Copies of this chain bind each other. A is one copy, B any other.
């Protein structure tokens, strides 16, 4: 990938010379998550979101990925500010990894989001203090040529906002994650009036969330979830154990509301759940009476029909609260007959099998399980096709740039835009690292790209695991590995003793003695043969021969291709 050249000066529609606005997504245009975007004008820039992404199936061992900021290297002084739209990890999660490298620019966001950002920062000792500005009601932030306002949206975390970015070229609206919820829980509906007014003020470009662009209809209201969960609370005779994401503050509010309605105490467990509830409650985004909250160790003090347990683990995560409760490893709470377990979140693709197994365990231990397939127990935070159409009709932009999603989701969102009358040539489907240049009369994805290769985080390593390491992991996961060690006398070129074999993940060694024995004599032969005058000491050649011929031999015997690692040691 080539770094984008300095912006050329172009003739402006006003007759003079003008710079284009340049929009560069560093992530979120080819995947769900990893949201980070640069908006640049005449070399100065603002950033929207700084989130992490989730590893693909072909990235074994990777914890998560973060955006590639190579484009910003050397331009740190030109970053005027970072706007964070809401507190989910795919929007805030990369801050501790990147903000210092970007020169610690000021962050502009809403109070709850600020709370989550600061809480996460505590997990990274040694990082510098953040400069966070909490946005006031209707505040417009002036940064160089940018004037940035915001509008409230509905999502499944409070304090979500979209942005109105006024630039010398025109007005850019960034919807961020949103849905239209006219009956949200402990929140206000999306600011439709403001959106309408924005739409009447000549919007140059709309950037809008495509996560649910393939799902027809309107997204579900949190009130529907409340009603359905209410039915379960009514029916449940024993304890209620609920699992959801720790970031779904609206869902957590519903659970507290119902607990109080039915006179149940709520025991919260899990690090992130406890932390998020504390932050959201302190900032008054979560409302419940102090008497409702109890500790997990107090659960047995109350009768079963007075208890709600609230934890993480609806995705079957290995060490989340629900998994520990189900497997009997939780210190205070075990599943017993009569428990009702409610999974109040949809299953993230890739987790289905794990969740099925978790459900097996829960049923085996006598619980009754409810999950979103049986009833609407989860409302997505992302607008579906009708929400997306509504946003487009309110904002009525000249240009439309679908954001957040795989390519096909952006494409489908583009089709929705076309259906409401946006001209096809004004719809831009871009990819990570693309630079979209806008001048009021023209839009263009320039040829050069910003580097957008994934930066993988694995343990303490950031970006040190690349394709080679991943490919090796994949090969070893498939068929294991086979190390063969040969000691050669440097004087005679002859092999000393038998080769040693270390193999893991290939065959069960104790039951494969004959195979290993044959492999050893194969190697011996290869080495002896290679030790002829013309090849002597050409150990690279010997290693290649071992790799190739031993590989063929093992494949012919097993139809497996372990990674073969020949070690030749001369002494």
Tell me the A residues contacting B by CB distance below 8 Å: 30, 56-57, 60-61, 214-216, 349-350, 352-354, 356-357, 359-360, 362-364, 369, 373-374, 406-408, 411, 458-461, 464-466, 468-470, 472-474, 476-481, 483, 485, 487, 496, 500, 502, 504-508, 511-512, 557-560, 563, 565, 567, 569, 571
Contact = CB atoms under 8 A, between A and B. Distances in A.
A360 B210 CA distance: 14
Contacts of A512: 464
Contacts of A504: 469, 472-473, 476, 481, 563, 565
A60 B563 CA distance: 15
Given A369-B408, A464-B512, A473-B477, 9 more contacts: A57-B353, A60-B478, A61-B479, A360-B406, A461-B559, A461-B560, A468-B508, A485-B485, A487-B571
Find the residue from A61, A483, A567 having the highest chain B CB count within 10 A: A61
A55 B472 CA distance: 21
B469 A356 contact: no
Nearest to A347: B349
Contacts of A459: 479, 558-560
A498 to B, nearest CB: 11
Given A215-B373, A374-B216, A560-B459, A567 B502 contact: yes
A29 to B, nearest CB: 11
B479 A481 contact: no
A265 B557 CA distance: 44
Copies held by the complex: 2
Nearest to A479: B61
Contacts of A559: 459-461
Contacts of A468: 508
Contacts of A360: 30, 406-408
A469 B505 contact: yes
Contact of A359 (B30, B362, B374, B406): B406
Given A411-B363, A567-B485, A507 B476 contact: no
A511 B60 contact: no
Contacts of A557: 460
Given A477-B60, A502-B567, A508 B408 contact: no
A563 to B, nearest CB: 6
Contacts of A496: 571
A361 to B, nearest CB: 8
A350 B348 CA distance: 10
Given A473-B505, A504-B476, A567-B502, A356 B364 contact: no
A374 B474 CA distance: 34
Contact of A567 (B359, B406, B500): B500
Nearest to A507: B464
The 4 closest A-B pairs by CB, nearest first: A459-B559, A349-B352, A477-B477, A473-B505
Given A356-B406, A363-B408, A469 B458 contact: no
20 contacts: A30-B360, A61-B478, A350-B350, A350-B352, A352-B352, A359-B406, A363-B411, A364-B407, A369-B408, A461-B559, A466-B508, A469-B505, A469-B506, A470-B505, A473-B476, A473-B504, A477-B477, A483-B567, A500-B567, A569-B569
